[in-house]
Structure 1
Amino acid sequence: MKTVFESLIPIPVAALGAWLGYMTGLPLGELIGAICLVTALSKMGVRMRMPYPFVATVQLLLGVSVGSIVTASMMRELTDFSILVGLLICMTTQIFVGYNWLRRMERWGHIESLLGSIPGAMAAVMTVSGEEGPASGRIAFVHIVRLLALLLVVTIIAGGHAESAAPMLGSFDDYLGVIPPAIAAVVVGYLLERFDVPAPYMLTGLICTAAVNVGFPQAHLHVPDPLAIVALILLGGLIGIRLKDITFKDFVRYIRAGLVVTALTFCTTLLVAFAFSKLTGKPFLSLFMSWVPGGVEVMTAAALLLKLDPAFVMLNHVVRMSIIHISPAFLPKRLLQENPQPEQ
């Protein structure tokens, strides 16, 4: 009974935090509010845990959300291999510089440095980064710092107008349309889980939903905002629990690590975007907004405000998120749950 209570209590706490965060009107306020309230109660001694079924639910909702954005027209746009190559080079360089800083300067372990350097994928990383503990907490913290810093930069670039839109409840048909690919994703994900594939439901959710969208364009799959909010609440609870062991000394050190990794990512994106702008003739700002880490919705809205090509920007971010969500399947599960290396 005690275990059940500890498993259930993060949900209402995270939901309350998400509501308080939403009331602030800040972008991603729901996620930040959920994280803060769960972390605060955990620090006060309230024991909470996030069972794997909840983590699997976050994986599924993340995969379905990204997959629902993929369309047949997007797939046709990928015939321009120069842009895809540029995106891959930019992502690889972002990970390389972030990894080397965390590994060499912050003295993090190999896997922690890798997961902490992945650009703009906090949700995906937190669902595959193993159990709670010091390593998971500092990975989460670096991603939170980078998320907030990049969100601030993008908001400034967009003239201070990159606020989040009001949530849409969606129609009954929207909910019905998501059910078949979600069920297929759960079945196939369960099978992949037997083979120790990391984050199996995230992978199958993305592939099954994208397959329906591409194969049956008339389906018009759309993930209603309440489902996305459920994912944010569960994710906020997951991250908040993992931050409970962070001390004030850790807080200062991880802010430094997050800001440095963010600055390195930002500068890397600037350089690669400038180089490919010269090579391909594409506008520099379009490439920069397409390759800098950030949420698909926020970056597309910023592109609209800046009168850039929003379809091009959205395509690059969808491809980037798809690559990041699929990539854990190619890594051994035991590798992602490696014991953390003590900080020196």
Structure 2
Amino acid sequence: MSEKMPVAPALRQTGLTFAIGALGGTLFHAAGLPASWLAGAMIFVAAAALARVPVELPNRMRDGFFVILGLSMGGGVGPDVVDRIAQWPVTMALLAVTLVLVTGATYVFLYRFAHWDRESAFLGAIPGALSFVMAIAAERRADQARIAASQTVRLVILVAVLPLVITSTASHGSQSAVPAVFPGWVEGGILLIACVAASFLAVRLRVPGGWLTGAFFMSSAINVTGVMPVALPQWILVPCYIGLGCFIGSRFTSTTFGMFLGMLKASLGAIVVGLFVSLAMAWFASVLVGLPFGQLLLAYAPGGLEVMTLLSFMLNLDPAFVAAHQLARYISMVLLLPFITGLLLGRISNESKSGQN
């Protein structure tokens, strides 16, 4: 949301966006759909954005939602997390294979069948890390609008589809998503302050998804040690789910309906290809190590770190496992992508660099 917008119009825009998201979440929840508050709000706000309705939330409100959600997600990390870490090296190795296969298969589709140019196809095939990919795309003069739109469509469809896929399997979690014991007001205040401080530090250190991951790791550490209960009631969590759905859906504010239809075919094809590879690798890893298929699918899915981790919590899976794997995927891409891009697509000439200045 523009910082220069007057207060009254900004409040009206925020209220309208949240009202649309709340309507979508309510209808999805009434229909009994999984991750209903998040997915319903996202789809309704995305539709409103494509219809040119002015929908957007302030960035500070989004950050606040992330902190609260990260705090609550820590309640899903039990003391047995240390024992489960022994399984992670195998699944991390399979994650690396999945990342290569998803990127390669999606690139082939976008380049050979959707007829994108090589640079746009390669960068559009990268699973997640949108801001980092866009920085490289700008430097290489790739089609930034096409890449951003493709990545956004992928995230929206994953959030809408993955909960349905996971809940249709036999192993998608059976424990209550929210523990029965909630912290008191004093404990809750201490917990909130600690999580806000951890989020602020994570953002300063440029940790991916810092506002959510900082609070998540702090609350996880507190919950594992048993110092105090880590949980929030649904009347606090539901508005945060709606708010995050509104934020994702509002990414379409700069996309016209014609543009959306034009890129939908290529985007859907790329999603199907990448998701098929992720499904196959998640199934293989599940059989190999005996972990729930849905948990591995969220860990391997080509979506955003914050959203995939949140879905694992909402679907009663292991958020620590999903967060660790999504974080490893993001960090590996940040470290290796510039070198791999230069190797596969060639270095940028000095003339091209000077032309951008």
Change (3 A) 1:329 1:200: farther
Aligned to 2:98: 94
- Counterpart Cα distance in 2 of 1:212 and 1:201: 17
What's the CA shift for 1:36? 2.2
Aligned partners of 2:182 and 2:229 also within 8 Å: no
- Counterpart Cα distance in 2 of 1:38 and 1:164: 31
Aligned to 1:341: none
In the alignment, structure 2 segments of 5+ residues that lack a partner are 1-5, 111-115, 136-143, 299-307, 339-357
Aligned to 2:224: 214
Residues 1:59 and 2:66 are matched in the alignment = yes
TM-score, scaled relative to structure 1: 0.70
- Counterpart Cα distance in 1 of 2:65 and 2:314: 20
What's the CA shift for 1:20? 1.6
Query: Residue by residue, what CA displacement relative to the aligned partner does 1:243-277 show, whole Å, maximum 9, x if unpaired?
Result: 34152232232222212211111112233444xx3
TM-score, scaled relative to structure 2: 0.68
Among residues 296, 302, 309, which one is paired with 1:291 in the alignment?
296
Aligned partners of 1:14 and 1:237 also within 8 Å: yes
Secondary structure of 1:173's partner? coil
Among residues 220, 226, 231, which one is paired with 2:240 in the alignment?
231
Among residues 320, 324, 327, which one is paired with 2:326 in the alignment?
324
Aligned partners of 2:107 and 2:122 also within 8 Å: yes
Residues 1:184 and 2:191 are matched in the alignment = no
Please list, as runs of the form range in 1=range in 2, the aligned pairs for 1:3-152 lying within 5 A after superposition.
3-78=10-85, 80=86, 83-106=87-110, 107=116, 108=120, 112-116=124-128, 135-152=147-164
Aligned partners of 1:63 and 1:325 also within 8 Å: no
Aligned to 2:283: 270
Query: Residue by residue, what CA displacement relative to the aligned partner does 1:119-175 show, whole Å, maximum 9, x if unpaired?
Result: xxxxxx68998899654443232133334444344344339xx79999979776367
Residues 1:173 and 2:175 are matched in the alignment = no
Aligned to 1:309: none
- Counterpart Cα distance in 2 of 1:297 and 1:26: 16
The residue identity in structure 1 corresponding to 2:217 is: I
**RMSD (Å), alpha carbons:** 3.9
Query: Residue by residue, what CA displacement relative to the aligned partner does 1:184-212 show, whole Å, maximum 9, x if unpaired?
Result: 23234334434554432222201211121
What's the CA shift for 1:299? 6.0
In terms of mean alpha carbon deviation, does 67-76 or 232-241 score higher?
67-76
- Counterpart Cα distance in 2 of 1:46 and 1:239: 15
Aligned partners of 2:71 and 2:192 also within 8 Å: yes
Change (3 A) 1:130 1:110: same
Equivalent residues, number: 299
Aligned partners of 1:71 and 1:214 also within 8 Å: yes
The residue identity in structure 1 corresponding to 2:28 is: G
In the alignment, structure 1 segments of 5+ residues that lack a partner are 117-124, 301-313, 337-344
Change (3 A) 1:331 1:11: farther
- Counterpart Cα distance in 1 of 2:23 and 2:145: 24
Aligned partners of 2:169 and 2:294 also within 8 Å: no
Aligned to 2:113: none
- Counterpart Cα distance in 1 of 2:133 and 2:239: 20
The residue identity in structure 1 corresponding to 2:59 is: Y
The residue identity in structure 1 corresponding to 2:38 is: L
Aligned partners of 1:213 and 1:219 also within 8 Å: yes
Aligned partners of 1:21 and 1:31 also within 8 Å: no
- Counterpart Cα distance in 1 of 2:37 and 2:201: 33
What's the CA shift for 1:88? 0.5
What's the CA shift for 1:218? 4.9
Aligned partners of 1:126 and 1:239 also within 8 Å: no
What's the CA shift for 1:237? 0.8
- Counterpart Cα distance in 1 of 2:38 and 2:133: 18
- Counterpart Cα distance in 2 of 1:100 and 1:48: 35
Query: Residue by residue, what CA displacement relative to the aligned partner does 1:208-227 show, whole Å, maximum 9, x if unpaired?
Result: 11121123x15221232233
The residue identity in structure 1 corresponding to 2:212 is: M
Aligned partners of 1:27 and 1:164 also within 8 Å: no
Identity %: 16
- Counterpart Cα distance in 2 of 1:207 and 1:167: 17
The residue identity in structure 1 corresponding to 2:95 is: M
Aligned to 1:205: 215
Residues 1:242 and 2:251 are matched in the alignment = yes
Aligned partners of 2:76 and 2:313 also within 8 Å: no
Change (3 A) 1:192 1:287: closer
Among residues 262, 269, 278, which one is paired with 1:256 in the alignment?
269
